[in-house]
C-alpha cells in the first residue's frame, strides 16, 4: 500500500484528508457514526470571540452541483468552546485538531487565537479572513492584502502554533493576498472558502435565503479551487491546504498535484456524513491506479 502521510506545518498527518470548518461541527457528533481518528485531522466550526446566533432563516438554498449557505458563523463563542466543546472532543479524537477562527476586528482575531493557542488539543490555527471588517466599512479582510496581512501579523504575535490563513475566492488577485499573508508570517494558506452565490424563488419572486446572498459550495466550484490552489502554491513557499468542491479520492489527488499539502472536504459531508471516511479508504485504490507510491511526493506535481 502507498504512503498516505503528509507533513503540515511540522505536524504529521496520517493522511491528507481534513473535514472543512462548518461541515463537521466540533467532531463528536460524527464520532457517533464512525471512528473519526481515521481522519488526518479536522477543522472545527468557525469560532468567534463572542457567541453568535447567526443569520436569520432560511439560511440554505440548494442548487445544481452545490448549495448556498448563509449560516452567519453561528457558534457559542471561544470561552464556551474551550469549556465545553474541546473536552467533549478530547474523548473521541486523539490527534491535534485544527481550530478555525473568525473575527470582525483585528483585536477579535488576536483575542480568540491567543485563547485557543493555549489549548493542548489545538495543533493549527486556521484564520478565516473572509469575515466583514466592522472597522473597515464591512469589506472582508480577505479582499485586501494589507488587511489580511494585518490580521496575520496580529495573530502571529500572540500565538506559538502554526497559523494557516484561509482565503476567500471572491477577489481578482488571490496571489497578492496569499503573498501578503506569507510576508506577514503565515505558516500556511488554506483556500478556497465559499464563492458568493444567490437563488431566487420563482413563486415568491424573492431571494431564497433571508440574507439574499450566501456562500456557494459543492462540486461545481472544484475547477475554480484547483486553479487558485495551483496559482498560490506556485507563488508562495509555505504549505497550501486545498478545498472547494472536493468529493472523491480522485479530487484529493488532483488537488495535491495542483500544490495542496492537505485537502479539506466541505459540502460533501453534508450530503454523506461518511464522505471523508470513504474518501480515505478509497485513496489507496487511486494511488495504485495512477502509480503513486507516496502522496507527499506528488504535491505540486502538475507543472
Instruction: Kindly name the residue from 9, 38, 113, 131 that is annotated as catalytic.
Output: 131
Q: Is 185 exposed, middle or buried (0-12, 13-18, 19+ CB in 10 A)?
A: middle
Phi and psi, residue 296, nearest 5° = -65, -25
Cell digits of residue 72: 452567519
What secondary structure, in 3-state letters, does 35-83 show? CHHHCCCCECCCECCCCECCCCCCCEEEECCEEEECCCCCECCHHHHHH
Sheet holding 262-265, edge to edge: 17-19, 262-265, 240-242, 188-191, 163-166, 122-128, 97-101
- Look at residues 218, 277, 289, 217 and name the one whose alpha carbon lies nearest to residue 253: 289
CA 9 vs CA 128, 221, 232, 241: distances in Å:
17, 26, 16, 10
Peptide bond preceding 247: is omega within 30 degrees of 0, i.e. cis? Answer: no
C-alpha of 113 from chain center: 16
| Residue 35 buriedness (CB in 10 A; 0-12 / 13-18 / 19+) | exposed
C-alpha to C-alpha distance for 15 and 263, rounded to whole angstroms: 9
What span, in angstroms and rounded, lies between the C-alpha atoms of 45 and 26? 6
Paired with 63 in beta bridges are 66
Task: Determine whether 131 is an active site residue.
Answer: yes
The rounded distance, in Å, linking the Cα atoms of 263 and 161 is 20
What is the Cα–Cα distance from 9 to 30, expressed in whole angstroms? 26
Where in the sequence numbering do the catalytic residues fall?
Answer: 131
Amino acid at each position: 500500500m502507498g504512503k498516505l502521510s503528509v507533513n503540515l506545518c511540522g505536524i504529521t498527518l496520517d493522511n491528507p484528508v481534513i473535514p472543512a470548518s462548518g461541515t463537521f461541527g466540533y467532531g463528536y457528533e460524527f464520532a457517533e457514526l464512525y471512528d473519526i481518528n481515521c481522519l488526518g485531522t479536522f477543522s472545527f466550526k468557525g469560532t468567534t470571540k463572542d457567541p453568535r446566533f447567526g443569520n436569520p432563516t432560511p439560511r440554505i438554498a440548494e442548487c445544481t452541483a452545490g448549495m448556498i449557505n448563509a449560516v452567519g458563523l453561528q457558534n457559542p463563542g471561544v470561552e464556551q468552546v474551550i469549556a465545553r466543546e474541546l473536552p467533549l472532543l478530547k474523548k473521541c479524537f486523539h490527534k491535534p485538531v485544527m481550530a478555525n477562527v473568525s473575527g470582525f476586528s483585528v483585536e477579535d482575531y488576536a483575542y480568540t487565537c491567543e485563547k485557543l493557542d493555549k489549548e493542548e488539543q489545538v495543533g493549527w490555527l486556521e484564520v478565516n479572513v473572509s469575515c466583514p471588517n466592522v472597522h473597515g466599512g464591512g469589506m472582508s479582510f480577505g479582499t485586501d492584502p494589507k488587511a489580511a496581512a494585518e490580521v496575520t501579523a496580529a495573530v502571529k504575535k500572540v500565538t506559538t502554533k502554526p497559523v494557516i490563513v484561509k482565503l476567500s475566492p471572491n477577489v481578482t488577485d488571490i496571489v497578492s493576498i496569499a503573498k501578503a499573508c506569507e510576508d506577514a508570517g503565515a505558516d500556511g494558506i488554506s483556500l478556497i472558502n465559499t464563492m458568493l452565490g444567490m437563488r431566487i424563488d420563482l413563486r415568491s419572486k424573492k431571494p431564497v435565503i433571508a440574507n439574499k446572498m450566501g456562500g456557494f459550495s459543492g462540486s461545481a466550484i472544484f475547477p475554480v479551487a484547483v486553479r487558485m490552489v495551483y496559482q498560490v502554491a506556485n507563488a508562495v513557499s509555505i504549505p497550501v491546504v486545498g478545498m472547494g468542491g472536493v468529493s472523491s479520492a480522485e479530487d484529493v489527488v488532483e488537488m495535491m498535484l495542483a500544490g495542496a499539502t492537505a485537502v479539506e472536504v466541505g459540502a460533501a459531508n453534508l450530503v454523506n456524513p461518511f464522505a471523508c471516511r470513504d474518501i480515505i479508504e478509497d485513496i489507496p485504490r487511486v494511488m495504485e491506479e495512477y502509480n503513486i507510491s507516496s502522496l507527499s511526493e506528488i504535491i505540486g506535481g502538475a507543472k
